[in-house]
Amino acid sequence: MKVPLLELKQQYQSIKKEVLRVAEEFFEKQYFILGPSVETLEKEISRYCASKYAVGVSSGTDALLISLMAAGIGPKDGVITTPYTFFSTAGAITRLGARPIFVDIDPDTFNLSPEGLVRVLTTMGQAERERLRAIIPVHLYGQCADMDPILKVAEDYNLVVIEDAAQAIGAEYRGRRAGSMGNYGCFSFFPSKNLGAFGDGGAVTTNSKAIDKKLRILRVHGANPKYYHRVIGGNFRLDALQAVIVSVKLKYLDGWIKTRQKNAKIYKQLFKKAGLERHIQLPVEKEDRHIYNQFVIRVKEKRDLLRQFLLSKEIGSEVYYPLPLHLQECFSYLNYPNGAFPVAEHAASHSLALPIYPELTENQLAYVVEKIRIFFSNS
């Protein structure tokens, strides 16, 4: 039996007719740049994410970059984030000449630890604290970071909050939607996210009219009006064809999320029944509505051997992420030593993402757990 980590062809078959119909209408109109299809999606995304405004942008990475630009982040500014995330969270900070300041993660959720945050802030030098401008909590794997204490700290220290919700569209924290809690919410429509385009795309949500306006200007090279530039922006436009596709898929998102949650529940039951808790730690749901963009287990030992064994049984898995950001070569100038963030480093060497996409059958889920059981009973 084959169990790929992610398989999008089946999902496409289920929406193909509708996608082809809207694509055909789109091609007839020959209206490719921004315009009605992007505006429609923006309204739908703002409603879905319980935010007042949404601005379609070119990718999740550009959502982060344009948010930092709108917040006025620049050279020598400090921005706090987690070292255990996709590269672009910290990449966006450094592209503006600002400095990422890392805070270790919570061992249960893999998200930025509020206690770690307080520790970093209270041990920070005066000069560094004065240059501190923003914080980017990441809602990793589809579960929100512990936002209340983070928002409290942001208020106390006067920090802009940019939520990296690229993996968490539709996730909730104490009844609040991902992307609606900070000043900016950054989303990605990369195909492997729960709401994926047929290519790259993203969005920024906000509850501020002024921020919405700034983002719209920065998205078109800072032009306002056209050909007059008071600020420097970029081409951060969401492709209109992608907007049309994402609009179709958004209608199905809640159904897909429910099935992912159901799959997670089945996995958890199967793992318990197989007595595998000695060998692996299951995902911990601490906050409301985990949307399971990834189902990530912690393998207590032999993670890489298990991964190879699964591969030999045609089961896909992935390590998100094998090297924490503070240890990346390109960030060596930040001078973080090995051991600086033990929880993130442990996660990097023990975590393993298993297939969780909605179209998986119960047989496939059972096959994955059975092979993991066999691996540990033989070793």
Ligand X SMILES: *Cc1c(COP(=O)(O)O)cnc(C)c1O
Q: Which residues bind ligand X (CB under 6 A)?
A: 59-61, 85-86, 88-89, 138, 164, 166-167, 188, 190, 200, 202
Is the distance from CB of 3 to CB of 355 less than 8 angstroms? yes
Q: How far is the CB of 167 from ligand X (least distance, A)?
A: 4
Choice between 88 and 206, CB closer to ligand X: 88
Q: How far is the CB of 378 from ligand X (least distance, A)?
A: 34
Q: How far is the CB of 165 from ligand X (least distance, A)?
A: 8
Q: How far is the CB of 353 from ligand X (least distance, A)?
A: 12
Instruction: Summarize the chain as % helix, strand, coil (round to 5).
Output: 45, 15, 40
Is the distance from CB of 294 to CB of 5 less than 8 angstroms? no
Q: How far is the CB of 125 from ligand X (least distance, A)?
A: 29
DSSP state of 50: T
Q: How far is the CB of 236 from ligand X (least distance, A)?
A: 11
Q: What is the dihedral of CA 92, 95, 101, 107, to 10 degrees?
A: 30
Q: Which residue has the tokens 């540990």?
A: 376
Q: How far is the CB of 259 from ligand X (least distance, A)?
A: 20
Is the distance from CB of 316 to CB of 357 less than 8 angstroms? no
Pairing of strands 351-354, 176-177: unpaired
Structure tokens at 19: 């996608």
Choice between 188 and 207, CB closer to ligand X: 188
Choice between 167 and 206, CB closer to ligand X: 167
Choice between 42 and 200, CB closer to ligand X: 200
Choice between 111 and 263, CB closer to ligand X: 111
Q: How far is the CB of 187 from ligand X (least distance, A)?
A: 8
Choice between 3 and 63, CB closer to ligand X: 63
CA atoms in the 13 A half-sphere facing the CB of 66:
36
Between helix 240-273 and helix 362-378 the angle, nearest 10°, is 50
β strands within 76-231, DSSP E: 78-81, 99-102, 132-136, 160-164, 172-173, 176-177, 184-188, 202-206
Structure tokens at 112: 């930025």
Element (H, E) at 42: helix 36-48
Residue nearest to ligand X (CB): 60
Choice between 96 and 366, CB closer to ligand X: 96
Choice between 46 and 194, CB closer to ligand X: 194
